[in-house]
């Protein structure tokens, strides 16, 4: 007797057109660029600048922004640790599909917990997961405070805010780290250029 919804009755459906075929069509290799860091560190700025730079080179990318995803796919989740983990898991699964489609997926999320980021890496071939750590000091992020969230967290109006009363676990073995140079943040186009150079050097910008 079978039970409705029993996972043992689900099978992976293969199609004639596969990842390699899609990559040849796009003349690029699918991958996930996972941008992590504190709120205000410049994750979304980098993702959008990088998307623009790739587009100018005729390369197809898509940005999965943490805030944007919470307007739809993840709107049922809050900021409890277990919901944050589910937020990252869902995003990782979607990013994996984009990479399988042959796109360069740019995932921009705080993703504060190392185990959750490692889980996303484990979903796919390790070489196709590029972790970019926006290593900006908390003081700078608070000074920027583009959404006014640090001010609210300091006033106790937001609980469990990353960097204030909830931890951020920096990557231990990320592929790229972007930080200040002599106390100055690189310009968005310069940061995007660093990532593009990495992608080009590892063959992602050709099939």
Q: Return the closest-CA partner of residue 174 out of 21, 58, 35, 27.
A: 35
Please give the torsion angle defined by the CA atoms of residues 198, 201, 206 and 207, in that order, rounded to the nearest 10 degrees.
Answer: -100
Strand order in the sheet with 129-135: 61-65, 104-108, 31-36, 129-135, 176-179
Cα–Cα distance for residue pair 5/147, rounded to 1 Å: 42
Q: Which residues are catalytic?
A: 111
In a 3-state reduction of DSSP, which class is residue 72?
coil
Cα–Cα distance for residue pair 56/77, rounded to 1 Å: 35
The DSSP annotation for 76-116 comes to T--SSHHHHHHHHHHHHHHHHHHHHTT-EEEEE-----HHH
Q: Provide the greatest CA pair distance for the chain.
A: 68
């Amino acid at each position: 007797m079978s039970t409705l919804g029993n996972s043992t009755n689900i099978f992976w459906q293969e199609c004639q057109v596969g990842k390699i075929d899609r990559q040849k069509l796009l003349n690029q290799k699918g991958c996930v660029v996972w941008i992590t860091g504190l709120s205000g560190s410049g994750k979304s700025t980098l993702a959008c600048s990088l998307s623009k730079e790739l587009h100018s080179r005729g390369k197809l990318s898509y940005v999965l922004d943490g805030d944007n995803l919470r307007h739809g796919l993840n709107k049922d989740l809050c900021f409890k640790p277990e919901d944050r983990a589910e937020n990252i898991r869902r995003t990782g699964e979607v990013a994996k599909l984009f990479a399988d489609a042959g796109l360069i997926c740019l995932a921009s999320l705080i993703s504060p917990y190392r185990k959750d980021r490692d889980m996303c890496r484990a979903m796919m071939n390790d070489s196709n997961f590029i972790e970019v750590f926006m290593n900006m000091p908390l003081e700078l992020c608070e000074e920027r405070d583009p959404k006014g969230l640090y001010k609210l967290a300091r006033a106790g109006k937001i609980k469990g805010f990353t960097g204030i009363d909830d931890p951020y676990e920096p990557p231990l073995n990320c592929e790229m780290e972007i930080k200040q140079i002599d106390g100055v943040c690189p310009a968005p186009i310069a940061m995007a250029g660093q990532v593009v150079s990495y992608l080009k050097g590892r063959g992602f910008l050709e099939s």
